[in-house]
Homo-oligomer: A and B are copies of this chain.
């Protein structure tokens, strides 16, 4: 297993240490979505088609391209709550990886990682994403259907329906304070056929 390693795929510390945003409760035009970036309390709203350019231009979120990429999240020691964000362009769509350090139980931060499609829930059902950690003779893989950014990333994480890492495991997979997360997206037709053991 040797995915393309993409260097310098870090979000900046300045972005990361800002508190997660709270989306607007009311969206008047059903075609409009609020800013999907969980880093900021951002007043922006717009159509799905322009979410990517908003994230790139306003929030300076990087895009990585390729079927299999590696996202390097640096400074894992930063205090909770912290988010690491990257966009992944693949199979004609853009996906948003959110890695969040959060204290669900006070004094015990955990890491939560999930992928959201920048698209509708119906579109999201066509894909499977895989997150993989591999270090120190340990390997952890999580595969699931991405959620749509029209759903709130906060609820995905509070439901625990994502890759969850305790601090001890995150340290085992980290190298010099950085966590390399292998990411792959596939269409879910094959996955469905072989689903359920």
Contacts and interface: CB of A to CB of B under 8 A. Distances in A.
B143 A139 contact: yes
A197 interface: yes
Contact of A197 (B164, B169, B180, B194): B180
Interface residues on A, range: 35 or more
Contacts of A2: 194, 197
A10 interface: no
A145 interface: yes
Nearest to A194: B1
Given A161-B169, A172-B161, A137 B141 contact: no
A195 B141 contact: no
Contacts of A168: 159-161
A196 B29 CA distance: 48
Given A166-B160, A197-B2, A197-B3, A144 B137 contact: yes
A126 to B, nearest CB: 12
19 contacts: A70-B197, A105-B108, A132-B197, A134-B195, A134-B196, A135-B197, A137-B144, A137-B188, A137-B195, A138-B161, A139-B141, A139-B142, A139-B143, A140-B143, A160-B167, A161-B168, A164-B164, A164-B169, A180-B197
Given A161-B172, A180-B197, A182-B197, 8 more contacts: A5-B197, A104-B108, A137-B191, A137-B192, A139-B141, A139-B144, A140-B140, A160-B169
Q: Which 9 A-B pairs rank lowest in CB-CB distance, beginning with the nearest?
A: A160-B168, A139-B143, A105-B105, A141-B141, A138-B144, A160-B166, A134-B197, A137-B145, A140-B142
